[in-house]
Chains A and B, each alone.
Chain A
Amino acid sequence: MSHEMTASAESSELSASGLSTAERLRVAGLHAAGDAVLSVRDLNVRFNTENGVVHAVRGIDFDLHAGRTLGIVGESGSGKSVTSMAILGLLPDTAQVTGSVRLQGKELLGLSDKAMCRHRGNDIAMVFQDPLSSLTPVYTVGTQIIEALTVHNPAMSKQAKEARAVELLGMVGIPSPKDRLKAFPHEFSGGMRQRVMIAIAIANNPRVLIADEPTTALDVTIQAQVLEVLHTAQEETGAAVVMITHDLGVVAGMADDIMVMYAGKPVETGSVDDIYYNPRMPYTMGLLGAVPRVDVAEKTSLVPIEGIPPNLVHTPTGCSFAPRCPLAGDACLDGEPELWPVAGAGLDGGLQHKAACIKTDSLGGDVDVREVFRAPAVPVSHFDAIPRAERRTVLELREVRKHFPLMKGALIKRRIGTVKAVDGLSFDIREGECFSIVGESGCGKTTTLLEIMEFHKDQDGEVVIGGLSNKQAADARTKGAMRKELQMVFQDPTGALDPRFTVFEVLSEPLENAGMAKPQIRARIMELMELVGLQPDHVNRFPNQFSGGQRQRIGIARALAVNPKLVVLDEPVSALDVSVQAGVINLLDKLRAELGLSYLMVAHDLSVVRHISNRVAVMYLGKIVEIGDVDAVFDNPRHPYTRALLSAIPVPDPVLERTRERIILQGDLPSPLEAPKGCNFATRCPVFAALPAAKQEKCLTLEPALEAAAAPAPAAGYRAAGLPAAPAAPTDQHFACFYPDGELDADMLVVHESL
């Protein structure tokens, strides 16, 4: 068989490079660790493309034991998804897969599609990334679950299969599972569909469960729910789990072992604590330093990793990370380093701590990653010294509303309801500050931005930009003046740039529009390129010649071209990889300080928000439920929704993740038609659920208004019911809840202390 031949060929090659006999045997797949359910040896995947052979996965080894979780972490293009597809044999025929994949001792590579089918979905199952497209739209959820049972248990009776399907749906937390069996996928939300996917995957009690970015497409609160379901699924089935993700936070609490991949190769492996607390490969160190932390108030710059991953068409001759590595020397370019055991690391049941870096031993725990990667100093704006109240207001919203009528009927439309996308929003942004709006999808963040950009006098509510109100914006000149004050950076940097425009044309368009003369435009563009950290001589290139992070820099340069006071950032880094994201965030921080800009940012990633913002507003169903200074809101959240949202965010700190208490909200964002009369959040509120009926009545009938929070009492913690001990001074923090100190419902609290 081809893979065995390749394996032996590789082993002879390796023996020449001086590996021990045991290591060679292990690589050849002859000596799989005793009780591993899944052992992968020297897995290689190559694709033939027009540009040549892309070597997407280059030699992966791991052993997976029952009940344990392996996290495979890497950026896009690092080969992590290809690895999972190769294990399952789902790659197209054009892919050449070599090496060895053994499931409970049985070789899987080289099996025919038909032979492989006995294993797929039976003892090895998979959960995919996008729940919206992963279920067949024309079959009921029940049919699709039962199909997975039928394939592997043809003798099972119809009743038994149905009973099992109901049991599975119940297990993954779908309410009234018996009725939902007959529902079609489009009748479920994204989170619910991912639960169904998990139900299908665990239907036959697999020994190995592979989850490929299972929560990337979901909101944080839903992500927390789905991770919880995965956790339960693993407990129920005792399966070994491979968790593939780019999010270091998601795996911190779930994984036992971690494998960090870069350019198709594992560059560091080890137990989760080894990787997070004692990383030995500069790439891993950089990745960990590049992630902003939602739980840390102290402001430090993020670690940017310059450059882009290598093109895998060419075989690397040196360390594949060397071109981006600040520590790289000449020795690093001489041959690709293998995974070396880290000195002093023991084998504690899981993966041995190994790193593919020749400088491993000099990178102990006392090396400061920020120094290594030359993270810039925290920029200081001259506005920071001025109290907020004394700064000029650049944007003010007063009672802005946007309601969409919900219509029914074809010819004669009837109004059956109203979608209150934005419902009475008021806030202001001062000079030099970053104000962020956070919330789940569907909460009205984007509509708010659109309303701000509208400049129309018939809008419901007032938007004042740089002293100009939308109520005066009748003529084109006022609108032009307003536009000049406010520019926008979009989420998808590729979609936001015209592919037929060179960077010069992209940047000159707003300047020409503002009436600037040709020579000045040229000078200004050079200045802008420099400002956002791009090479000025690249102005004649087209957007497709730049990487994602560089494209976003072009988008920022375009927004800054006309010298706006306020820049609206719509999810500015969510489309970027972690290492690139850090560079863009640092840039935004620097520009705010140097140019005295104000930002209005919309983001779903609360860690990014905490890192970059001064103030934050939490939105739920069109309303602000909590607003205030970012540290006050994040450290001392008062509204139950803010608390739930913050607790849903996984932190890249394994010890903290294992012990912290989480609030898992039940269900999804309610549809606008089902929005309750009183407090919008009552249907999902953990405090509401624990309240006595008499108090619940108030939440259901009265709408809580935004009220100033008292400054947190220093020692007393939560006050007892009754009057506050001392009238604390009101702070900048406001929230809309009657019972902020109420007890949380026990069902919605989860602690994984046992882990």
Chain B
Amino acid sequence: MLRYLAKRALTYAFMIFLTTTAGYFLAVNTLQPALLEQERIPRPTTEQVANSFRLKGLDPDLSPWERYVEWLTAIVTRWDWGRSPSGAFINAEFGDRVWISTRLFLASIILTLIIGIALGVYTAARQYKASDRVITSYSYLVYIVPAPIAYFLVQLGAININETVGERIFFVTGISTPGLEGDGWAQFVDMLAHYAVPTFAITIVGWGAYQIAQRQYLLDNVNADFVRTARAKGLTRNQAISRHALRVSFIPVAQSIAFTIPAIFAGGFFAEKIFAWHGVGSWSIDAIALQDVNAATATLAYGSVIFAIGAILADFATTLVDPRVRVQ
């Protein structure tokens, strides 16, 4: 198993290198931070701009290949991912951003999975009954509604509650109240007040996909021959479904979970923007807007790593639940 993981990790490392390299060349050829500098007042001369960039390792006069070699050497030898045109160090900012994104999504992912799969099983067992129709219709609805709109609606709802009560219970944006004084309890309550709205919003639009998938896969297996065998052994229909059909139906779901978790970590632009949690997702968008070659490449590399982990997790999850898959 370990050997297999090592082998897979090596393959993915190579693929990450390829995507990152391609991304770097794309960024270095299209992003022109010098143009933005021209909008400053007073307007700096071209030499000034070039000089300032040269000091930050972003020399516009070098060829893309030379810059690539320089950039790659820094990473390999010093684990230095370079600087932004503003002068900020990518490494320093990166850690903060990843932590923020993780905090924003961790709770909602866990809730999404638990609720989605539980509802999927529940509705499959009650196919075409009222509860199934309501829940499944809801899932299709959130499939259709764009996530940002749902987020705004939740924000509006939270604001409404605040206004009705006449006190600010929920914070609809931000991570914490700046300059909050007080003991641990006050800090904790403040965190909850900030956490509640985004977590709620992301969860209620997230579970739909899992509910639909789990319901569908389970229904495919409810009438399988092996469930009939289990019933012929003397299990009740519900026992047969929960012991035999459920685990088989979970195989494809487990795989999709492993793949989508990383996608959420790396790509929650909308949630991060709307709730003003400045994580990796919003950073990657900002980097492109600010013509920031190094930041854009770094977010891309992060995304690739996260996807590779997802792929390995998916393999791992499959071997865990399905004995037919052998690891070689």
Using a CB–CB cutoff of 8 Å, the interface residues on chain A facing chain B are 88, 90, 113-114, 117-122, 125-126, 128, 130, 133-140, 147-148, 151-152, 184, 186, 197, 200-201
Most buried by A among B229, B230, B321, B324: B229
- Determine if B322 is an interface residue (Cβ-Cβ < 8 Å): yes
20 more contacts with CB within 8 A, not counting A90-B228, A117-B234, are A90-B231, A117-B231, A117-B235, A117-B236, A119-B234, A120-B231, A125-B233, A126-B232, A135-B226, A136-B230, A136-B244, A137-B226, A137-B248, A138-B324, A140-B323, A151-B233, A152-B234, A184-B323, A186-B323, A201-B232
A85 to B175, CA, bound (A): 61
In this assembly, does B106 line the interface, its C-beta being within 8 Å of a C-beta of chain A? no
**Within the assembled complex, what's the spacing in Å between the Cα atoms of A128 and B229?**
8
Of A88, A122, A128, A138, chain B has the most CB atoms within 10 Å of the CB of A138
B237: which A residues are within 8 A, CB to CB? 113
Task: Tell me whether B225 and A200 are in contact (CB under 8 A).
Answer: no
Q: Which residues of A contact B224 (CB under 8 A)?
A: 133
Question: How far is the CB of A615 from the nearest CB of chain B, in Å?
Answer: 40
B321 and A125: CB pair below 8 A? no
| A114–B229 touching, CB < 8 Å | no
Is there an interface contact between B233 and A148, defined as CB atoms closer than 8 Å? yes
Min CB distance B128 to A, Å, is 12
Hey, which chain B residues are within 8 Å of A90, CB to CB? 228, 231-232
Q: Is B247 at the interface (CB under 8 A from chain A)?
A: yes
Q: In this complex, what residue of B is CB-closest to A203?
A: B233
Whether the Cβ atoms of A135 and B324 lie closer than 8 Å is no
Partner of A125, one of B230, B232, B248, B251: B232
Which B-chain residue is minimally distant from A138 (CB atoms)? B247
From B225, B226, B234, B324, A120 is in contact (CB under 8 Å) with B234
- A135 and B229 within 8 A (CB): yes
Residues in B with CB closer than 8 Å to A151 are 233-235
Q: Let me know if A200 and B229 touch, CB within 8 A.
A: yes
Task: Give B contacts to A, CB under 8 Å.
Answer: 224-226, 228-237, 243-244, 247-248, 251, 321-324
Q: Which residues of A contact B232 (CB under 8 A)?
A: 88, 90, 120-121, 125-126, 128, 201
B251: A residues at CB distance < 8 A: 138
By secondary structure, the B interface counts as helix
B-side contacts of A126, CB under 8 Å = 232
Q: Is the CB of B225 within 8 A of A133?
A: yes
Complex CA distance for A88 and B322, rounded to whole angstroms: 30
Contact with B248, one of A120, A128, A136 (Cβ below 8 angstroms): A136
Sampled A-B contacts (14; CB under 8 Å) = A90-B228, A117-B234, A119-B234, A120-B233, A128-B228, A133-B226, A134-B225, A136-B244, A138-B247, A138-B324, A139-B244, A147-B230, A147-B233, A197-B229
Residue of A nearest to B226 (CB): A136
In the bound complex, CA of A126 to CA of B234 (Å): 11
Contact of A138 with B248 in the complex, beta carbons under 8 Å = yes
Min CB–CB distance B326 → chain A (angstroms) = 10
Q: A138-B321, A138-B323, A186-B324 are in contact. Are A114 and B236 (CB under 8 A)?
A: yes
Chain B nearest CB from A326 CB (Å) reads 39
Residues on A with C-beta less than 8 A from B230 are 136, 147
How far does the Cβ of B132 sit from chain A's closest Cβ, in whole Å? 15
A152 to chain B, nearest CB (A): 6
Write out the residue numbers on chain B whose beta carbons fall within 8 Å of the beta carbon of A139. Answer: 244, 247
Contact partner, A184, options B228, B231, B244, B324, Cβ 8 Å: B324
The distance from the CB of B316 to the nearest CB of chain A, in whole angstroms, is 16
The answer for the CA separation of A122 and B244 in the assembled complex, in Å, is 19
Q: Which residues of B contact A121 (CB under 8 A)?
A: 232-234
Q: Chain A contacts of B247 at CB under 8 A?
A: 136, 138-139
The distance in angstroms between the C-alpha atoms of A213 and B306, with both chains bound, is 51
CB distance from B154 to the nearest CB of A (A): 39
Report the minimal beta-carbon distance from B327 to chain A, rounded to whole angstroms.
12
Q: Which of B225, B231, B322 interacts with A138 by CB under 8 Å? A: B322
Q: How far is the CA of A126 from the CA of B239 in the complex (A)?
A: 18
Provided the pairs A136-B244, A137-B324, A184-B323 are in contact, do residues A122 and B228 lie with their beta carbons within 8 angstroms?
no
A90 to B229, CA, bound (A): 10
**A200 CA to B244 CA, complexed, in Å:** 15
Which residues does chain A contribute within 8 Å of B233, judged by CB atoms? Answer: 120-121, 125, 147-148, 151, 200
CA gap between A186 and B248 in the complex, in Å: 14
Contact indicator A118/B225 (Cβ below 8 Å): no
Minimum C-beta distance from B239 to chain A (A) = 8
Whole-angstrom distance between the alpha carbons of A200 and B324 in the complex? 21
Cα-based distance from A200 to B232 in the complex (angstroms): 10
Question: A736 → chain B, closest Cβ, in Å?
Answer: 37
A711 CB to nearest B CB, Å = 51
Interchain CA distance A177-B75 in the complex, whole Å: 58
CA–CA, A147 to B323, complex, Å?
18
Instruction: Give Cα A122 to B235, complex, Å.
Output: 11
- Output the nearest chain B residue to A112 by Cβ-Cβ distance: B236
CA distance A119 to B323 in the complex (A): 31
Residue of A nearest to B245 (CB): A136
Chain B residues with Cβ below 8 Å from A186 are: 323-324
Complex CA distance for A201 and B224, rounded to whole angstroms: 18
CB distance from A112 to the nearest CB of B (A): 9
Contacts of B248 in A (CB 8 A): 136-138
Question: Nearest A residue to B11 by beta-carbon distance?
Answer: A411
For B224, B234, B244, B323, the residue with the greatest tally of chain A CB atoms inside 10 Å of its CB is B234
Q: How far is B247's CA from A730's CA once the two chains are assembled, in angstroms?
A: 62
Bound CA–CA A305/B136 (angstroms): 50
What's the Cα separation between A273 and B7 when bound, in Å?
A: 67
Taken together as a complex, chains A and B put the C-alpha atoms of A88 and B228 apart, in Å, by 11
**Do B234 and A148 have beta carbons less than 8 Å apart?**
yes
Q: Within 8 Å CB of A200, what residues of B?
A: 229, 233
- List, in ascending order, chain B residues with CB within 8 A of A148's CB: 233-234
Within the complex, what minimum Cβ distance (angstroms) separates A125 from chain B?
7
Contact A128 B225 (CB under 8 A): yes
In whole Å, how far is A213's beta carbon from the nearest beta carbon of chain B?
Answer: 13
Please indicate the chain B residues that have their CB under 8 angstroms from the CB of A88 in the complex: 232
**In the bound complex, CA of A134 to CA of B225 (Å):** 5
Residues of B within 8 A of A118 (CB): 234
Chain B residues, CB < 8 A from A138: 247-248, 251, 321-324
A209 to B321, CA, bound (A): 33
Report the separation of the CA atoms of residues A125 and B226 in the bound assembly, to the nearest whole angstrom: 14
Q: How far is the CA of A653 from the CA of B284 in the complex (A)?
A: 80
A150 shortest CB reach to chain B, Å: 9
Q: Which B residues are CB-close (under 8 A) to A134?
A: 225-226, 228-229
Residue of A nearest to B321 (CB): A138
- Residues of chain B within 8 A (CB-CB) of A152 are 234
Q: How far is the CB of B129 from chain A (nearest CB, A)?
A: 12
Min Cβ gap B280→A in Å is 32
Residue among B228, B236, B322 making CB contact with A113, cutoff 8 Å: B236
Find chain A residues with CB under 8 A from B226 CB.
Answer: 133-137
Q: Which residue of B lies closest to A132 (CB)?
A: B225
| Cα–Cα distance between A225 and B201 once the two chains are bound (Å) | 61
A1 to B309 Cα, complex, angstroms: 60
Cα distance A140–B247 in the bound complex, in angstroms:
13
Contacts of A117 in B (CB 8 A): 231, 234-236
- Output the least CB separation between A1 and chain B (Å): 20
Q: Identify the 9 closest CB pairs spanning chains A and B, nearest first.
A: A121-B234, A121-B233, A133-B225, A151-B234, A136-B226, A148-B233, A126-B232, A134-B225, A120-B234
Complex CA gap A147/B233 in Å reads: 8
CA distance A148 to B230 in the complex (A): 8
A455–B110 alpha-carbon span in the complex (Å): 59
* Across-interface contacts of B225 in A (CB, < 8 A): 128, 130, 133-134
**Complex Cα spacing A148 to B232, Å:** 9
Residues of A within 8 A of B231 (CB): 90, 117, 120
- CA A200 to CA B229, docked complex, whole Å: 9
What chain A residues lie within 8 Å of B324 (beta carbons)?
A: 137-138, 184, 186
Q: Which residue of B lies closest to A118 (CB)?
A: B234
Write the nearest CB–CB distance from B120 to chain A, whole angstroms.
18
User: How long is the Cα–Cα vector from A585 to B132 in the complex, in angstroms?
Assistant: 51
A171 to chain B, nearest CB (A): 17
Identity of the chain A residue whose Cβ is nearest the Cβ of B228 in the assembled complex: A90
